[in-house]
Amino acid sequence: MTAPLEAAEPAAAQAAGPGDERSAGRGVLRYALSKAGGALFSIAMVLVGTFFVFRLLPGDPVRNLAQGRAMTPGQLDLERRRLGLDKPLFDQFVDFVGDTLRLDLGTSYEYKRPVLDLIGERIGPTLLLTGTGLVIAVSLGIWQGTRAGWRQGSRFDRFSTGTSLLLWSVPTFWLGLLLMMVFGVGIGPIPGILPFRGIESVDAPDGFAYILDVASHMVLPCLTLVAVVYAQYLLVMRSSLVEEVSQDYVTVARAKGLRDDEVRRRHAVPNALLPTVTLVFMRIGFVVGGAVTVETIYTWPGLGKLFYEAINVPDFTLMQGTFLLITVAVIVMNTLADVVYHILDPRVRSA
Amino acid sequence: MSLLELDDVSVTYRIAAGEVPAVRGVSLTLDSGAALGVAGESGSGKSTLAMALLRLLPRDARVGGRILLDGEDLLTMKWGRLRAVRWAEASIVFQGAQHGLNPVRRIGDQVAEPLLVHGQAKPDAARKRVHELLEQVGLPTWRARSYPHELSGGQRQRVMIAMALACSPRLIIADEPTTALDVMVQAQVLTLIKELVAEQNISLIMISHDLSVLADVCDQLAVMYAGRVVEHGPSGDVFHEARHPYSRALAAAFPTVGDPASRMAPKGLGGDPPDPMNLPGGCSFHPRCPVALDECATLDVDLWPAGERRSAACVHVRAKEEAS
Amino acid sequence: MTSVAAARRRLALSRFWTDFRHHRAGLIGLVVLVAAVLLALVAPLFISENVTSVVAGVGKKWAPPSLSEPFGTDESGRSILLMVWWGSRTSLLVGFLAALLSIVIGLVVGVAAGHFRGWLGGALMRVTDWFLVLPSLVTALVLAAILGGSTFTIIMAIGITTWPSTARLIRAQTLSVEARPYIERSKALGGGHWHITTRHVLPNVAPLLLASTTLEVASAIVTESTLAFLGASSSKTSWGTMLRASYDFGAPTQGAWWYILIPGLAILAVVMAFTLVGRALEAVLNPRLRRNA
Amino acid sequence: QDPAAGKKIVRIGATQAMDSMNPFLAVRLVSTSIHRWMYGYLTVPDSKTLQPSADLAESWKTSEDGLTWTFTIRTAKWSDGKPITADDAAWTFNKMMTDEAAKTANGPAVENFESVTASGQELTIKLKSPQASMLENPVPIMPKHVWESVTDMANYDAEKYPAVSSGPYIAIEHKKDQYVKLQANPNYWRGAPKINELQVIFYDNPQAAVAGLKKGDIDLLGRMTPQEFEAIQNDPKIEAWNTQGRRASYLQINHGATTTDDKPTGDGHPALKDPKVRMAVHTAIDKQKLVDEVQNGLAKAADGSIVPPLYKEFFWEATGDKKVTYDVAKANKILDDAGYKKGADGVRTMPDGKRKLEFRFTIHTETPIEDKLAEYLTAFLKEIGITLTTVKLDSSKFTDETGVTGNFDIAISGWSVNPDPEEIMATHLCSRRPAANGEGGGTESFYCDDTFEQLYKDQQKELDRPKRVELLKQMQERLYTDAPVIAIYYTNDLEGYRKDRITSITPIPEDKGLLYGGSGYWPFYTVDAKVTAASGGGAGGGSNTGLIAGIVGAVVVVGVGAFFLTRRRKSVADERE
Amino acid sequence: MTETHAGGTPPASPPKGVEEIHAGGTPPANPPKGVEEAIPPAGRGKRASHALLEARDLHVEFSSRGRRARAVDGVNLAIGEGEIVALVGESGCGKTTLARTLLGLERPTSGEVRYGGAALDYGSKALKAYRRQVQLVLQDPMGSLNPRHTVYEAVAEGPRIHGLADENEVVATALSRAGLRPPDRFFLRYPHELSGGQRQRVVIAGALALDPKVLIADEPVASLDASVRGEILALLLKLRAELGLSALVVTHDLGLAWNIADRVAVMYLGRIVESGPVDQVLTAPRHPYTQALMSVLPESPERIVLTGEPPDPTRIPGGCRFHARCHVLASGKAAEAGVDGRCRSERLEILPAVPEAQAACHYAETVS
Ligand SMILES: Nc1ncnc2c1ncn2[C@@H]1O[C@H](COP(=O)(O)OP(=O)(O)OP(=O)(O)O)[C@@H](O)[C@H]1O
Ligand SMILES: Nc1ncnc2c1ncn2[C@@H]1O[C@H](COP(=O)(O)OP(=O)(O)OP(=O)(O)O)[C@@H](O)[C@H]1O
Ligand SMILES: [Mg+2]
Ligand SMILES: [Mg+2]
Ligand code: NI
């Protein structure tokens, strides 16, 4: 949770001539391709890693899958053949890669259904929750970070830095429990006013009321997720802005007669945003981790909960499938962030 | 009437460790169309003074005295008025040109920005003006679409100058515009500044620690030491026959190639530069002064007339003037 | 010249201390931290593992905080105060060891990747990048689930998933140190790889490492508790397992807020202390940040 | 508009989610429960005696040799109006016998079937060997006309609504991980249930479920832990339901694990092979204390074996000499007499002096109650000079080591027993031991005892119920005295429902029986509830919508206000250097 | 002979004769080991006896972003014993690269570095031994000192690497030689507690601690205040006088060359285009590039500002490498002399490493 921040190092580049525009475009493409190559490599590593890690499981995988239920030898054999465990390791690996590439993630033993289907059902709520959470966290974090960084040392700055450090140190699940206790269950005379289970009421109304219903269900999980995640963005934005503010061009902008907020809006913030936005994407993995906890606590029917269930059963095919998906998604997001950063920042664009 | 008048300007930084008197009672005047050079070693308060002129100092700096631009005191001016003065009447070229440009915005936009901010042009006209300015500083117009990192150091410095010229100010403050530039490029930039000042009747304050460069560009020279002006006068006089021992040492540090006197005889000033937080008593130069007298340790000498339109802060000067 | 070296070290320490003292938050953090560590260390002198036993010396169940039980008791009548005290040993141990593991791997990989350009550095960087993008909590959960949730496994899982950020940091720092002219000078004086890495790179990286270690410990403690809460850890009494138990035994519905609050606050306090100290250290030791401060 | 208004709805909380809507695949308790409410079976346990009684099978008879069973299927209709015939049942069983995938959930139930045929309403099942528990068949009868077309059973999720069923309820909606909605089946042969809708709402988090019950989000919650139960016990709106449960908890002792070819396997402690040591261990356990401390008194100490007292018919309890009572001195004496000498450290050694009596106690990870139990047992055994160390294993490893490899000394175990105890008895048969290659298994004790085997075979064939009951009791006695397992307590069934919502509900068995935890649909067929008021009295989020909307509105207003305020402030005071 | 400027402050005017003594190549008081055994290759008698450190036909290339940058593109340069040579040129012309290559920090693509008459051996042992003889002083004294090391440690680093005995003694001597007296007052200081000039003295002391024969100084005073520069330059002169130290001073400042160097080499785009004794080259520059460099000095009457982009070592023009920016060619003087064609197309020979004044220019060759 507390990886120290690394600012992007601007690459010095020497270029000449108007033709650079085009070559810069080609540069981005080349960069994107090389990044995509890197991402593919990472994904390949994930595949290999997953295959072997899950082969490290102690005992007989089929019996692991059976979780102690009595199975007839016929069933065991069937299962074994179905899983291709009768083949040599290398063939298994080839099959595994092939299946994965064909998006066949196997069948969940617990749910008796293709893992991909299960994931498909759960991905929507997760995207809704993490998406909303991320949007709120990012905008809040960036807004507050901007204010704090701009007036460094002000009361607002000390307050928000303090709060974010506090939130940073809070274990997500604990915060979730507390929020649930206070706002969901209700404590003492305070009645619990917010729903704290699932994504919608059982007798969910239709139309706009339905949206409100879902929204009300989202309040607590979102709050938990945001509280923990946004602190990071605040700190990143703040330090990034502080870095920018000390740059000479900000003084130049002031000297040009720009108003304080113009200096901030036009110069400091856009520049500070560049590394921040990248970091936002880079920390996607962290958000995913938060989602697992939050979804578990609030019974949010998302991927995180699915993963948690898989861990707890344990349902290894499901675990493997969700793990693969989450990891690949995070890798893809990271790569995108890299490329987007490259498009946005002219300093590295032509490099 | 003089364009700029500094009256007993002082700047003190308040930092955790105490107070740093960076500028201590500087009084100078600048006529319109004139060029003033400010020299002095590192930490003598040159940049601080320059920044104080446009009230650009960080909040922990306290400025005292008066800075009159056209008779208006910049230090007590309303913010709105100050913003209008900034750049439109007095612009500034900063020490490191590399960092004075926003790295992620195009050159053209940055040069045009003051024009738009001060409402001197509509976007279209501004673009034309930008092209004009770039040509004026010897850059091809297509450079307007470049980003700062695509330019060499000299080119960036020229962009800064173009930017400073954008609103046709009457005063340009150039803080070490050529340090960190290559000799050849330095020559180009200096030539450019010289030309502009001569042609456009712009007043110039140029800051450098290279006395020879200043002597070349400016009519007047002020030498600063430990936050004070220790010598002031026409540039040729100050450079060639300095009255203050510090100015003398500074001038001697730049040998004239071909002058046998300086061959195999580098000259310099012994001792360490003063610590602004812990200035020596008396004349702050006395610990390093080759001609210091006993009284220098206790006597704080002010600027003293030292010939025609000249002044210097040294007991020797005072003694001489008093004698004559 | 040991005397010179010793004098220098003393000087450096006192200089560091003077700087550090200016960070009030860091100082408070340090006090909390030292107190927590000391308490954890001396715990066996006063109490024993028995405080976590449901058999030995249990009191009233679900007793709210009172004078005799300042933090109340849990579902078996054990004292929350004593459990938190004893549990701090596991939490801190896991935190420190996981951070140590992560730091050691990160340091070796980071310095090697920064010092040796060429294919070795490139390959190390690729591996690091790969590990870096793995969502750490999720990976740690998988590892803990597969390898079983012993304390050792938890430490491994946390260490393995967190070293890459350290490695990146160390590498960046190594690169920036190696770009300094004094490395060139050292080479010109005849120094080899070993000399340069141990005499120049390591000492320059060390402060950063110290700061990042404290932050890493903080994150390891949180991760441990999260893993424990999500049921991937079966380790001995730690703050995380306490919270898990409070949840399992229905503290929220029992209204036993103290059972949830106290271990959580313990985590919060210690993690916060580590974070504050880490940030203060960073500010004091990392000139880049110092410039901004 | 609240769609729930004017209906009688009962919401049941479950701390598991459905694993599958396909009864051929579903194994989770919640799924099988829901399927029990949806589908008819050949027979169901009688609501009073728990003995098999008619369900879809109106009547049945069996041949002399006990190998042929003929069931007469009731004339009734599927929920879609099609008639229910014996063909449906035959298809269901045949599907399971021929399709490996269809065996997933209830494979063993058809293991003994030779053939199943139908003609009209007559269903004929031929068995390979006699089977007294034939009437306890756990397979729901599926509508052939709907299911026939399913080819890939392993991947069929049966998510078609409304489902075609024959039980009291029809599933009309299933939101994964969220809830299942069941509607009263008007075509149900007993007549439609009293309520309109039964909803099963899934909670991941038991605490949330308990809170939901207290808040009124759900009306009934079963399968609570003692702690959860305590939390609702004093709630005036909640009826706390505390009755005897279906579950027996016992210790599994590695008394010399062997494989089906009688070769020893695993690394069990040799001392445990000695029945005297097992007896001593048994004697040293204060079961009542465990009940009081570990189960908060919400259990019954076991003086019998693995069938809980709920099943009065089959329950056997030791009396007189046979009864093992807690007596540390006696336990010590047994061991002293048997030559297990205490060493200087208070730990006994084997008579040959080679090994100390140091046993492992294997439990599951993440089961706090087992943790507690382990601590108590350790303390008990310490009293008699035996050291116990706890080993925690995750469920798959646990199964492996305690059921296949035999790498344990003492392990925790427990079983929820069906009305007919045959299956749980079967888990102690020789044949359930793993094969030499580690395959098969399903033993609960590695037990292999000739007497026990014989009794089992006898009861299988014994169609006279009282006689069979007697045989089964003898088996329990054998397990008690031989002690391959030591029963420690029978946990209570702990449930709770809202008195203000549920007006009546009949447990099964009707006398102090179970609600959600019970087998069969009886409680939920008989349940009656108040009509949901139009305003949505206290159920779910729907009622809060207005409140929430208000809050959201307020937040928006405050936000906008704050925004403009800061704007204004900014424009006034943007000046700075 | 050294009495006159050993006193610390430089005398007002240079003592007559210093120049002659050093430029003439008086045998050093303590010749480096191995020099005498190394037999100079035949045919280069004069040059070899003069040269202590020599670059022969040195080429250094980098590949940057797919292009080859010929940073050093054929350099012959010799530094005699006790001689101070200044290397001047504009930014990016390869001065630093050449200096680093001479130290063995960069490997030449072709050509060789010779020390004491023998080619440099890049084995790690040999290199280490070589670096006792040839030492480096960098431009930025703050950067060349590890901020975490005290002055003592900074100076002792070399002796420690080379396992010299009597470390304390060595450090103290080196510091006092570098003008930091009394040395023990500085032992425990950190670089940030020193002024710029003092820091540069510490760096120099660090080099001196190894008792080198040659000092390569890369812009040693560029980052120092004008008033301090003279001091450091005087120190270099003093060291030469006291220890017979040879030096290569890389600079872009012709005044500095005039101040202290015996000989000057002007470099342009990876090559030396003019070299010779300082008083000859700087008073009568022959190469147009040198002339341009001279002309931008503030005192000079008329300024020749070179046009065109700064030189790019990835794109070295054909013909004379300077022709694109050459004002002699541009003003038509070359055409007058009839060499303009050659300027554009004919490559120039690499200048040999001789002490006499010479220039690589078609025009200068024809005119003189
Ligand atoms: N923001 C600040 N806070 C505290 N002290 C400062 C600050 N800026 C400058 N100083 C101090 O004020 C003094 C004058 O600094 P200034 O930058 O004006 O010097 P300068 O003459 O421009 O030097 P240089 O030639 O190096 O640019 C120095 O001692 C410096 O340390
Ligand atoms: N490691 C390197 N990789 C790629 N190119 C390099 C490298 N080092 C130097 N160069 C290039 O070689 C050329 C010569 O560089 P060098 O640093 O030697 O110039 P210089 O004369 O010392 O310049 P300055 O006066 O700016 O220090 C430059 O164009 C530079 O970009
Ligand atoms: Mg300055
Ligand atoms: Mg250089
Ligand atoms: Ni001499």
- Here the CATH number for the domain that contains residue B228 is 3.40.50.300
Are residue B53 and residue B153 in the same domain, yes or no?
no
Å between A39 CA and nearest CA of chain C: 9
pLDDT exceeds cutoff 90 at C100: yes
Q: Which amino acid is at D495?
A: E
Q: Which of B113, B141, B160 is the last residue of a domain?
A: B160
pLDDT exceeds cutoff 60 at A18: no
Are residue B274 and residue B143 in the same domain, yes or no?
no
D254: CB partners within 8 A, 6+ apart: D266, D268, D269, D272, D406, D408, D409, D410, D411, D446
pLDDT exceeds cutoff 50 at A14: no
Most confident option among B304-308, D343-347, D550-554: D343-347
Pocket test for ligand 2, best of E58, E60, E61, E62 (most atoms within 8 A of CB): E62
Do residue D26 and residue A76 have CB atoms under 8 angstroms apart? no
Interface of B with E in 247-276 (CB under 8 A): 249-250, 252-259, 261-270, 272-273
Most confident option among A4-13, A105-114, C104-113: C104-113
The owner of tokens 């298809």 is: D91
Q: Which residues of D touch A215 (CB under 8 A)?
A: 548, 552
**How many angstroms separate the alpha carbon of residue B28 from the centre of ligand 1?**
20
D371: CB partners within 8 A, 6+ apart: C54, D363, D390
Tell me how far apart the 2 most distant CA atoms of chain C are, in Å.
74
Ligand in closest contact with the CA of E245: 5
Supply angle C-alpha B164, B166, B170, rounded to 5: 65
- Least confident window among A258-272, C268-282, D232-246, D530-544: D530-544
Do residue A253 and residue B96 have CB atoms under 8 angstroms apart? no
For every residue of D452-492, DSSP letters joined together read HHHHHHHHHH--SHHHHHHHHHHHHHHHHHH-SEEEEEEEE
**pLDDT band, very low/low/confident/very high, at E49 (cuts 50, 70, 90):** very low
Most confident option among D384-393, E291-300, E304-313: D384-393
Do residue B58 and residue D577 have CB atoms under 8 angstroms apart? yes
Residue nearest to atom 11 of ligand 2 (CA): E71
Are residue B8 and residue B124 in the same domain, yes or no?
no
Helix (H), strand (E) counts: chain A = 15, 0
pLDDT exceeds cutoff 80 at D573: no
For every residue of D59-117, DSSP letters joined together read EEEE-TTS-EEEEEEP--B-TTSPBP-HHHHHHHHHHHHH-GGGGTTTGGGGTTEEEEE
- Least confident window among B72-76, B167-171, C263-267, D567-571: D567-571
Q: Which residues of E touch B256 (CB under 8 A)?
A: 255, 299
**pLDDT band, very low/low/confident/very high, at D42 (cuts 50, 70, 90):** very high
Give the structural domain span for C217.
Answer: 17-46+85-285
Å between B54 CA and nearest CA of chain D: 10
In whole angstroms, what is the distance from residue E353 CA to residue E310 CA? 27
Check: CB of residue D400 under 8 Å from CB of residue A58.
Answer: yes
CA E143 to chain centre: 20
Could you tell me if residue A243 is inside a domain? yes
In whole angstroms, what is the distance from residue B72 CA to residue B90 CA? 13
Check: CB of residue E53 under 8 Å from CB of residue E113.
Answer: yes
Q: What are phi and psi of A335, to 5 degrees?
A: -65, -45
Q: Is the dihedral of CA D523, D529, D534, D539 positive or negative?
A: negative
Alpha helix segments (H runs only) across chain E:
3-6, 18-23, 45-50, 95-102, 124-133, 151-161, 167-177, 196-208, 226-243, 254-260, 278-283, 288-295, 327-330, 333-337, 340-345, 362-367
Element (H, E) at B77: none
Q: What are phi and psi of E308, to 5 degrees?
A: 85, 165
E164: CB partners within 8 A, 6+ apart: E158, E170, E209, E210
Total number of domains in chain B: 2
Do residue A243 and residue C292 have CB atoms under 8 angstroms apart? yes
Give the structural domain span for A318.
Answer: 30-67+81-348
- E51-261, which class in CATH? alpha beta
Average pLDDT for residues D212-217, to the nearest whole number?
86
pLDDT exceeds cutoff 80 at D281: yes
Of the CA atoms within 13 Å of residue C254, those in its CB half-sphere come to: 25
Q: Which chains have at least 3 CB atom pairs separated by less than 8 Å from chain D?
A: A, B, C
As to burial, measured by CB atoms within 10 angstroms (0-12 exposed, 13-18 middle, 19+ buried), residue D325 is exposed
Check: CB of residue D109 under 8 Å from CB of residue D139.
Answer: yes
The answer to whether the peptide bond before residue D509 is cis (omega within 30 degrees of 0) is yes
Total number of domains in chain C: 1
- State residue A3's pLDDT score: 35
- State residue E122's pLDDT score: 86
E to D contact (≥3 Cβ pairs closer than 8 Å): no
Are residue B113 and residue B148 in the same domain, yes or no?
yes
Please indicate whether residue E366, judged by its CB atom, sits closer than 6 Å to ligand 2. no
Q: Which residues of A touch C141 (CB under 8 A)?
A: 292, 307, 311
Instruction: Tell me the per-residue pLDDT of C189-241, one tens digit each, with 9 for 90 and over.
Output: 888 889 999 888 888 888 778 888 888 888 899 998 998 888 777 667 889 88
Report ipTM for this prediction.
0.79
pLDDT exceeds cutoff 60 at D290: yes
Give the structural domain span for B54.
Answer: 2-89+169-279
For every residue of A194-252, DSSP letters joined together read S--SSSS-TT---HHHHHHHHHHHHHHHHHHHHHHHHHHHHHHHHHHHHHHHTSHHHHH
- Helix/strand/coil for D557: helix
C280's tokens = 């203060």
The owner of tokens 């791997």 is: C105
CA distances from C232 to A53, A58, C92, D378 (A): 16, 16, 18, 25
In whole angstroms, what is the distance from residue B285 CA to residue B279 CA? 9
In whole angstroms, what is the distance from residue A285 CA to residue A301 CA? 19
Instruction: Tell me the per-residue pLDDT of E93-146, one tens digit each, with 9 for 90 and over.
Output: 889 999 999 998 888 999 999 998 888 888 888 888 898 899 988 888 888 888
Residue D358 pairs in a beta bridge with: D387
* Residue B152 CB neighbours (<10 A): 17
Average pLDDT for residues B5-14, to the nearest whole number?
92
Do residue E128 and residue C190 have CB atoms under 8 angstroms apart? yes
Residues of chain E with CATH 3.40.50.300: 51-261
Could you tell me if residue B126 is inside a domain? yes
Please indicate whether residue B44, judged by its CB atom, sits closer than 6 Å to ligand 1. yes
Percent helix, strand and coil across chain A, each to the nearest 5: 75, 0, 25
- State residue B240's pLDDT score: 86
Which residues of chain B have a Cβ shorter than 8 Å from any chain A Cβ?
51, 54, 56, 83-88, 91-92, 94-96, 99-105, 113-114, 117-118, 142, 145-147, 149-150, 152, 163
pLDDT exceeds cutoff 90 at D335: yes
> The domain that contains C108 carries what CATH number?
1.10.3720.10
In whole angstroms, what is the distance from residue C166 CA to residue C108 CA? 10
pTM listed for this prediction: 0.81
**pLDDT band, very low/low/confident/very high, at D538 (cuts 50, 70, 90):** very low
In whole angstroms, what is the distance from residue B232 CA to residue B27 CA? 10
Could you tell me if residue A41 is inside a domain? yes
Are residue B139 and residue B10 in the same domain, yes or no?
no
Q: Which residues of A touch C129 (CB under 8 A)?
A: 38, 42
Q: Which of B262, B279, B296 is the last residue of a domain?
A: B279
Q: Pick from C135, C230, C272: which is nearest to A165 by CB?
A: C272
Check: CB of residue A282 under 8 Å from CB of residue A336.
Answer: no
Q: Which residue has the higher pLDDT, C35 or A284?
A: C35
**How many angstroms separate the alpha carbon of residue E95 from the centre of ligand 4?**
6
Average pLDDT for residues D86-114, to the nearest whole number?
88
Interface of E with B in 174-203 (CB under 8 A): 195-198
Average pLDDT for residues B68-90, to the nearest whole number?
86
Check: CB of residue E36 under 8 Å from CB of residue E58.
Answer: no
pLDDT exceeds cutoff 90 at C258: no
Percent helix, strand and coil across chain B, each to the nearest 5: 40, 25, 40
A268: CB partners within 8 A, 6+ apart: A150, A241, A244, A245, A250
Do residue D211 and residue A202 have CB atoms under 8 angstroms apart? no
- Helix/strand/coil for C30: helix
The owner of tokens 């008025």 is: B81
Supply angle C-alpha A98, A100, A104, rounded to 5: 105
- State residue C120's pLDDT score: 87
pLDDT exceeds cutoff 50 at E4: no
Chain C's closest residue to E185, CA to CA, is C4
**pLDDT band, very low/low/confident/very high, at A75 (cuts 50, 70, 90):** low
Total number of domains in chain A: 1
In whole angstroms, what is the distance from residue A95 CA to residue A93 CA? 5
Could you tell me if residue B288 is inside a domain? no
- State residue A26's pLDDT score: 67
Check: CB of residue B312 under 8 Å from CB of residue B303.
Answer: yes
Pocket test for ligand 1, best of B12, B38, B41, B47 (most atoms within 8 A of CB): B47
Could you tell me if residue A284 is inside a domain? yes
Could you tell me if residue A63 is inside a domain? yes
> The domain that contains A180 carries what CATH number?
1.10.3720.10
Residue E231, chain B, CB below 8 Å: the answer is yes
Q: What are phi and psi of B26, to 5 degrees?
A: -100, 130
